[in-house]
Structure 1
């Protein structure tokens, strides 16, 4: 079973500058590789890597392993695109959306996430720092912040790639953790779950998860947005942009926590949800 742990990076201004330059270089390289993949019909990893590997190093300043990770990112993007088109997620083949999606090379945003493996990213858990390859050389001692439970998860189960992400001007690493699959059991009964607004979830065994706190939080966020919108200043606009998505992420976290509690309670009593 795979889980991800997101930690917040706390780089110095110099380290942040190196990370930004690296992210932009990797995504320029990915866009270049994407155009080559379409022009020459190379959607397999080995074929595309043979074609663009030297160019990615010479033209964009990537070292060996970041170039390999960039090629894999491009191939994965086309794999997802193909799966979405087959599943009908892009509409019918005659639709404008479908033609726009499959008729041009995939373009990567300048600050799109970039995967790093253990050859170009290392973790120092005791010091809570990471060392990462950048276009300016190896950058060491970048501090990160996480909860004690997240740190324990990283130490015990982190495996494979970690994605470097910049979101809202802040830096994050999203690490993949591989856990043993939970023991399979035959349920002896069921737990029903009724979802609502006032009560976010109520289970058939009488457990009630109220939504009053989340409702108060949403009303508070709405008041703050209204206050900032009335000001119509540059500072207010910047603050609105920083707050964008905060309410949604909070609600997602609350719902995720409730769903985990219900599943854990069901597992502890050999019930199915």
Structure 2
């Protein structure tokens, strides 16, 4: 299973200047390639490389491998744009009416010819436009360093984020065989008030995160309205904190859910919420909350963590999970007298609404698994 570990580089001032110049040169070259691709309509990697390879290599002082990675980055960006255009029904004109642009500090890919690792010394030797930078130190968490040492395989990306340099290395971790006979499924109800509610009774509240998001939006609007140089500097320092905070919370929640499923020998059932933003119509004040809801990220974190330890994950139809009774399965819109309360109009069962929905999701997950599982009935012996 392919994963990515992020390691922090510790360059000297001279090494950081070489890395900065390399990123600027690679991304300026990528902008040139993007303009050529947009003008000629040639956007496949091999054909595009035949057009621009020499110009990219000579015009920006890039090596052979770096030039090829620049062209491939542009080709991959246009491939992703085509996939997005096929998938979405809303197509902002500004996103497709001009060439794709790359920031001067956008990430750059390195392969093993451009980047070598000295794992015992925790240093790397990396290509730059100013020559090879050797003995560039890096650091990371204990688990990240262990994974890097045992499973590193493939390319790495050089990143500059908030003045700090990072390398994102690809690792190939062996998967644990999936549990063929789970002892039931833990249903996970994803929401905004409660980020995740499990059928085992754990509610991961989103109150603190939502309050912090409101404060972030208020601060961002105030700084944009002020518009001074100090306000812009503060906004730049503050940018990205909300996303990093949500990512950290989603990592913690997914780790807890997967660990519980592994410990109890059960699988995990999730709602298939793909396309919910396009399906649901909301009032304007609610749209910001919906668009900042990182349910897709949490779903992805649970999926890859479960796959790594062999916990089965199934996706179920989300229709009426909040209106269905987990006891008698009666569905009625009136079963939800308020956001937090579920009261069945048929059998009188009363429960917290998110907990009831998680039970429904867990039951649906079990039936999805049973319907898709291979039969355990032994084959009949033919009678002579």
Report the TM range for the smaller structure's normalisation. Answer: 0.7 to 0.9
In the alignment, does 2:268 pair up with 1:272?
yes
- For 1:167, the equivalent position in structure 2 comes to 161
The 5 Å alignment of 1:237-248 reads: 238-248=233-243
Aligned to 1:6: 6
Structure 2 length normalisation: TM-score?
0.61
Change in CA separation of 1:198 and 1:40 when aligned onto 2, cut-off 3 Å? closer
| 1:95-140 deviation per Cα after TM superposition (whole angstroms, max 9, x unaligned) | xxx4433332212111111111111011222222221110000011
Q: What residue is the counterpart of 1:142 in the other structure?
A: 136
Q: Gapped runs of 5+ residues in structure 1?
A: 92-97
- Give the structure with higher Rg (CA): 2
CA apart distance, 1:40: 2.6
Measure the CA separation in 1 of the matches of 2:90 and 2:112.
35
Residues 173-252 of structure 1 aligned to structure 2 (within 5 Å): 173-186=167-180, 187-195=182-190, 200-209=195-204, 238-252=233-247
Q: Once superposed, what is the RMSD of the aligned Cα atoms?
A: 3.0
Per the TM alignment, residue 215 of structure 1 is displaced from its structure 2 partner at its CA by: 7.8
Secondary structure of the residue that 1:183 maps to in structure 2?
coil
The answer to whether the Cα contact below 8 Å between 1:192 and 1:203 also exists between their aligned partners in 2 is yes
- The number of equivalent residue pairs is 266
- How far apart in 1 are the matches of 2:214 and 2:4? 31
Residue 23 (structure 2) pairs with residue 29 (structure 1): no
1:119–1:240 CA distance, 2 compared to 1 (3 A): same
Q: For 1:86-165, what aligned pairs fall within 5 Å after superposition?
A: 86-88=86-88, 90-91=90-91, 98-165=92-159
The 1-side partners of 2:227 and 2:44 are apart by 50
Structure 2 residue matching 1:79: 3-state secondary structure: helix
Structure 2 CA distance for aligned equivalents of residues 270 and 208 of structure 1: 18
CA contact (8 A) 1:84 1:90 kept: no
C-alpha distance in 2, partners of 1:220/1:75?
39
CA spacing shift, 1:13–1:193, aligned 2, 3 Å: same
Aligned counterpart, 2:43 = 43
